[in-house]
Chains A and B, each alone.
Chain A
Amino acid sequence: QQQVKQSPQSLIVQKGGISIINCAYENTAFDYFPWYQQFPGKGPALLIAIRPDVSEKKEGRFTISFNKSAKQFSLHIMDSQPGDSATYFCAARDSNYQLIWGAGTKLIIKP
């Protein structure tokens, strides 16, 4: 119940295309859902986050879609650029304020 399942494991998108990464969870006590971006040799950096009382949040080219009834949330990257190539992690915060992380998606944007 503490798992966050992330897919796909890897993704290749053409420059200018839309990148979509999906996550699913079981624990309805999760109350905060962040997405992190990690470049090689760097620690994860917060990209965008959403709370379960909102169905969508947009920041620039990045959008989180949240489906509370399906217990799923996804990250959409519009107009994907080569600089977006990185590993993306979804996470969920539990009732102890601990983040439970997905396994990550390696995104490659082809020029």
Chain B
Amino acid sequence: DAGVTQSPTHLIKTRGQQVTLRCSPKSGHDTVSWYQQALGQGPQFIFQYYEEEERQRGNFPDRFSGHQFPNYSSELNVNALLLGDSALYLCASSLDWTGVLDEQYFGPGTRLTVT
């Protein structure tokens, strides 16, 4: 059983460009959350998708948007990239959007570098 997968592994973009990151959840999981992890920091919650809708959102600007597809996979889009957007972007999936019934399983992340 494949766990959470993310693509691409690494990405280099220029300031002002747009980027799309992809995530496939663990088999059977219907909830996907996205996190930003800056170097030397803990992950920061961006948003969470359940039933193709954004259920929760952290303190991130509207430049960060997402989507969940009927097969539960998800995309994270970032527009007008800033140097400060350089980070590891983590996707996590779970069975339960509250996290009460089940833990979150994390993917290996996408390393985004903005130059």
Tell me whether B98 is interfacial, beta carbon within 8 Å: yes
Find the A residue at minimum CB distance from B58.
A98
Which residues on the A side are within 8 Å of B44 (C-beta)?
Answer: 101
Q: Are A101 and B43 in contact (CB under 8 A)?
A: yes
Contact with A along B2-38 (1 / 0, CB 8 A): 0010000000000000000000000000000000000
Tell me whether B66 is interfacial, beta carbon within 8 Å: no
Tell me whether A61 is interfacial, beta carbon within 8 Å: no
A44 contact from B40, B45, B90, B98, Cβ within 8 A: B90
Tell me whether A32 is interfacial, beta carbon within 8 Å: yes
Q: Are B42 and A46 in contact (CB under 8 A)?
A: no
Q: Are A104 and B108 in contact (CB under 8 A)?
A: no
B42 contact from A96, A98, A104, Cβ within 8 A: A104
Contact with A along B82-104 (1 / 0, CB 8 A): 00000000111000011110011
Q: How far is the CA of A91 from the CA of B107 in the complex (A)?
A: 18
B42, B44, B56, B105, most chain A CB atoms within 10 A: B42
Which residues of A approach B to under 8 Å, CB–CB? 4, 6, 32, 34, 41-46, 49, 89, 91, 93, 96-99, 101-104
Q: Which 8 residue pairs across A and B have the least CB separation, nearest first?
A: A43-B106, A101-B42, A97-B98, A46-B103, A44-B106, A89-B42, A98-B45, A43-B107
Which residues of B approach A to under 8 Å, CB–CB? 4, 40-45, 56, 58, 90-92, 97-100, 103-109
Please, could you name 24 A-B residue pairs with CB atoms under 8 Å apart, sorted by A?
A41-B108, A42-B108, A43-B4, A43-B92, A43-B108, A44-B90, A44-B106, A45-B105, A45-B106, A46-B104, A89-B42, A97-B56, A97-B97, A97-B99, A98-B45, A98-B56, A98-B58, A99-B43, A99-B104, A101-B42, A103-B41, A104-B40, A104-B41, A104-B42
